[in-house]
Chains A and B, each alone.
Chain A
Amino acid sequence: MNLAKELDELDRDGALRETADAVARHDRAQFLKVGALGAGAVLALPAIASAQPSRTQDIAILNYGLTLEYLEAAFYREAVARGALSGRLLQFAQVAGAHEAAHVTLLRRVLGSRAVAEPTFDFKGTTGAPGTFQSTAIALEDTGVAAYTGQAARVRQAPILQAAAQIQAVEARHAAWIRRIAGQRPAPFALDPSASMAQVLATLRRTGFVPGL
């Protein structure tokens, strides 16, 4: 939640900021409690640091999205291949996996030669059992939504923001779906959490799924 001064024009008495901050504090506390994200060390992807209002920033954001999509797609691919899933979990892995692969294709096409290469992943055995698959999928999807949400106001080009929002909603659907399968509340907050790049990358680093990150 980043309600900055920009809000003042609309928010003459500061009521919005107050309300939103209160909701965000609550949401953030809940979110931290479930452990999807923590306070993170600053870790920037190459070329991400630029705050210049230019396409460079959009490219960095798209590559950040692409990295997350590579991760999710690989996770579901491996989970399906290992054969430990059945029923609703298997169906979820197949459908969500196909979506993440489609996101990879889309982002790679938009980025062209600027697309980052797919990293090597190590899912630490989480794809080999329904329980660990389920909890990891929830964390990955919740993190994915928050990652896209956190970049929305930073994207410079309308078509890219539009597509990012379309992807973000699908990640939110995945998150709600796997949460319901797991018996968790599909929509835990009134405002979906937003996470910075540094927070998301720190979370990823702690998983150890991306060696060398």
Chain B
Amino acid sequence: MNDHSTMPDLEELDQDGAVQESWEALERAGGFHDDPADDPFASEAEDDDQEGLSRAGLLRRGGLGAVLVGGGVFGLAAAPALAQRNPRTDRAILNYALTLEYLEAAFYADAISQGEIRGEDLQFARVVGQHENQHVTLLRAALGRAAVRRPRFSFGASTRSTAAFRATALALEETGIRAYGGQITRISSPALVTVGAQIHAVEARHAAWMADILGRTPAPASLNGYASRGQVLGVVRRTGFIRG
């Protein structure tokens, strides 16, 4: 990303940090002790009640195996009996995802219409652009009248050369994976968790594809990073692609 000045620095999304965070969360949640006195959740402090650990915290409060009450803003991506539905939170997540999909779809449409890319890059733009358009259609259908409108975009030089297109495409796809990855534990509807996971994997395939075109390692780490909404929107804002 450093070879293109307008691009976000994805290292800010801290791949290794995310891995570390995830590992620590797993360590805290792990163990699966049978003895309730030795239950890792029983010793979970209230200050662990952050996003990534919300379900562990809720499980602790509700007692394992008990029906949970008061899921609050932290959606539980679990079976209906467990999940505390929060359609409002889900809608906010869907609109956030929709905005990113609008951005990606518009980027590929612009790249194709600029006519500067060819060969596998053009094929990539067509295939991936079609996927992003399908994601837009899906999310808009899910949201109905609650769907946010398509912003106006301006991609500047990023769609006007092969090198800029590749770097930007990779950055957008890497951001997309991290965005979906960061919301997966916050979605309350199980059906939407599945759809979110399906799109998450597709964005990962896109990123790997473009990384390989660029001659970079398509799978640079054993755990993919994820990012909060704030991190992602910060990256998107810095691109200047969204004009209104």
A165 at the interface (CB under 8 A from B): yes
B207 to chain A minimum Cβ distance, whole angstroms, is 7
Q: Which residue of A lies closest to B138 (CB)?
A: A19
* B65 & A172 in contact (Cβ 8 Å cutoff): no
CA distance A114 to B143 in the complex (A): 42
Contact bitstring A66-108, B, C-beta under 8 A = 1, else 0: 0000000000000000000000000000011011001100100
CA distance A148 to B203 in the complex (A): 15
The stretch from B148-156, B214-222, B230-238 touching chain A is: B214-222
* B184 & A152 in contact (Cβ 8 Å cutoff): yes
Contact bitstring A7-38, B, C-beta under 8 A = 1, else 0: 10111110110111001000000000000000
* A2 & B191 in contact (Cβ 8 Å cutoff): yes
Q: A23-B134, A167-B223 are in contact. Are A162 and B144 (CB under 8 A)?
A: no
Which residue from B32, B90, B131 sits with its C-beta under 8 Å from A55?
A: B32
A127 at the interface (CB under 8 A from B): no
Contacts of B198 in A (CB 8 A): 1, 149, 191-194
CA distance A52 to B67 in the complex (A): 11
* A186 & B209 in contact (Cβ 8 Å cutoff): yes
Q: Which B residues, 82 to 104, have Cβ-Cβ distances below 8 Å to chain A?
A: 82-83, 85, 87, 90-91, 94
Interface residues on B, range: 35 or more
Q: Which of B30, B53, B201, B212 has its CB near the most chain A CB atoms (within 10 A)?
A: B201
A200 at the interface (CB under 8 A from B): no
CA distance A177 to B220 in the complex (A): 11
Contacts of B67 in A (CB 8 A): 53
A159 at the interface (CB under 8 A from B): yes
* A114 & B194 in contact (Cβ 8 Å cutoff): no
Interface residues on A, range: 35 or more
* A153 & B204 in contact (Cβ 8 Å cutoff): no
Which residue from B79, B144, B181, B192 sits with its C-beta under 8 Å from A169?
A: B181
The stretch from B3-11, B18-26, B110-118, B157-165 touching chain A is: B18-26
Contact bitstring B52-94, A, C-beta under 8 A = 1, else 0: 1111100100001101000000101111111101010011001
A191 to chain B minimum Cβ distance, whole angstroms, is 4
A206 at the interface (CB under 8 A from B): no
A24 to chain B minimum Cβ distance, whole angstroms, is 9
B28 at the interface (CB under 8 A from A): yes
Q: Which of A1, A4, A11, A114 has its CB near the most chain B CB atoms (within 10 A)?
A: A11
Q: A20-B138, A160-B26 are in contact. Are A194 and B194 (CB under 8 A)?
A: yes
* B197 & A168 in contact (Cβ 8 Å cutoff): yes
CA distance A13 to B201 in the complex (A): 27
Q: A172-B202, A186-B208, A187-B209 are in contact. Are A10 and B195 (CB under 8 A)?
A: no
CA distance A25 to B53 in the complex (A): 35
B177 at the interface (CB under 8 A from A): yes
* A4 & B190 in contact (Cβ 8 Å cutoff): yes
A137 at the interface (CB under 8 A from B): no
Contacts of B240 in A (CB 8 A): none
Q: A152-B193, A192-B201 are in contact. Are A15 and B78 (CB under 8 A)?
A: no
Q: Taking beta carbons and an 8 Å cutoff, which residues of B are in contact with A?
A: 18-19, 22-23, 25-32, 52-56, 59, 64-65, 67, 74, 76-83, 85, 87, 90-91, 94, 127-128, 130-131, 134-135, 137-138, 141-144, 177, 180-181, 184-185, 189-209, 212, 217-219, 221-226
Nearest first, the 7 closest Cβ-Cβ pairs linking A and B are A158-B55, A169-B224, A192-B201, A159-B25, A172-B204, A102-B222, A187-B205
Complex A-B: 26 CB contacts under 8 Å: A2-B194, A3-B195, A9-B189, A10-B189, A52-B65, A53-B65, A99-B219, A99-B221, A109-B30, A112-B30, A152-B184, A152-B193, A153-B193, A153-B197, A154-B79, A156-B82, A157-B29, A159-B25, A168-B204, A172-B200, A176-B212, A180-B208, A180-B218, A187-B128, A187-B202, A191-B199
Q: Taking beta carbons and an 8 Å cutoff, which residues of A are in contact with B?
A: 1-4, 6-7, 9-13, 15-16, 18-20, 23, 51-55, 59, 95-96, 98-99, 102-103, 106, 109-112, 114, 145, 148-150, 152-163, 165-177, 180, 185-187, 189-194
